[in-house]
Amino acid sequence: MRYLAFVVAIAFYPYFSEASNTPRWIILSVVLPLVFLGTKPNWSECHGFAIAFLVWCGTTILWATAPLDAFHQMWQLVLLAIAFCLGSVLSRNSYRWTLIAFGLGIAVNSVLVAVRLHGFEEIPQWGDAAAGLFVNANFLAEAALMTMAGLLALRLYGVASLSLTAWLFPLSQNVFAASGLLGAIWLWKRSRIAALALIVIGTAGLGAYIYEKPDFWESSIGARASFWLNGLSGLSFTGHGLGSFFSEYPNQQMVHTTSKAFDSFIRPKTAHNDSITIAFETGVIGIALMVAFVASVLKRPTSTREDMAAKAVVAAFLALGLAAFPLYLPTTAFMAALSAGFLTRAGNVVRGQRSHRRKPAFQGNSAAK
């Protein structure tokens, strides 16, 4: 799994329309099913919720407005389900090295970001911010945040620092906001005053940013707000069908969307909020199943440092999903699914790993005497 994690972080082919995402989905489509053959997952209630969600997503294809998009999205969800199952059989050492390998892949991108800042512009990318092998700088920064969250939980500070450039220089507003949210969560158990202060500062900064914009709806935050409101306006009990947000968005215009994000040639593929996208496409039933799945994963015990790292990766993924779409990107979605699966083995003796629990000093009836 460590080799796959490294490759997924650096795969790039400039002749695809999506030079980073497409080759990574192709690699996952080939490798994950092969690795899964013969694997026996550690079944848990989390797997039950995941299966129920997948079955319901498959059912919504029957009324999806764009069947090809629906089947495409369904296959990606199946791949993530396989990654989730594979994560449930990873040993602590295997997961640790998988996270390190992923971090080293992001470190390669950090180097490319640094050299681009010094004038090397041979790798194609979207926008002005350096993006390494991710084309979109936001995608790189999101993967870097997830990497750093896990590695810092493992106290591998040196390896985590290798991703700092990839986290910082894309200047991703969403990543900075998600980092602040994770920081507030981390501070909450240590100092609620400090956590509240961070929340107040972040909220004030957001307010100042919005206030300075002459036309809020033309800003990037305004565009996201229009995606959210228009997506919420189209909620239904059964949803519009998997993969339908792109095709249905023109019919959901409760508020104006800037022409920078929606016109005759461009429109959003997702709501830039994973929960709203899922709710729009799969309805109340789908989002309820997803919430149950996420809750079942987050309540798993964290008895080891690796468990805490996996939960940190999942938490970063969820924080990013509030204003972006990490669920629909191969790099972030793969690592989140693998980490969530790893959490389901918490408390179990996993293949390739011995239990470290001590045996009682006395056993049998004589111990009670």
Domain boundaries, the chain: 2-37+44-349
Provide the pLDDT for residue 106.
96
Residue 354 pLDDT > 50, yes or no? no
Residue 11: partners with Cβ closer than 8 Å, 6 or more residues away: 20, 23, 24, 27, 133
Q: What is the mean pLDDT of the chain?
A: 88
Q: What is the mean pLDDT of residues 279-297?
A: 96
Asked if 113 contacts 140 with a C-beta cutoff of 8 angstroms, the reply is yes
| Three-class DSSP category at 126 | strand
Question: Of residues 202 and 124, which shows the higher confidence score?
Answer: 202
137-172 confidence digits (pLDDT tens): 999 999 999 999 999 999 999 999 999 999 999 989
What percent of the chain has a predicted confidence (pLDDT) above 90?
Answer: 64
Residue 61: partners with Cβ closer than 8 Å, 6 or more residues away: 67, 70, 71, 74, 241, 242
87-101 confidence digits (pLDDT tens): 999 999 999 999 999
Residue 246 pLDDT > 80, yes or no? yes
Confidence of residue 368 (pLDDT cuts 50, 70, 90): very low
* Rounded-to-integer distance, Cα 83 and Cα 32, Å: 7
Residue 361 pLDDT > 80, yes or no? no
- Burial label for 288, CB within 10 Å (0-12, 13-18, 19+), is middle
- Entry pTM: 0.88
Residue 103 pLDDT > 50, yes or no? yes
Provide the pLDDT for residue 346.
55
59-86 confidence digits (pLDDT tens): 999 999 999 999 999 999 999 999 999 9
Residue 209 pLDDT > 80, yes or no? no
Q: What is the mean pLDDT of residues 14-22?
A: 86
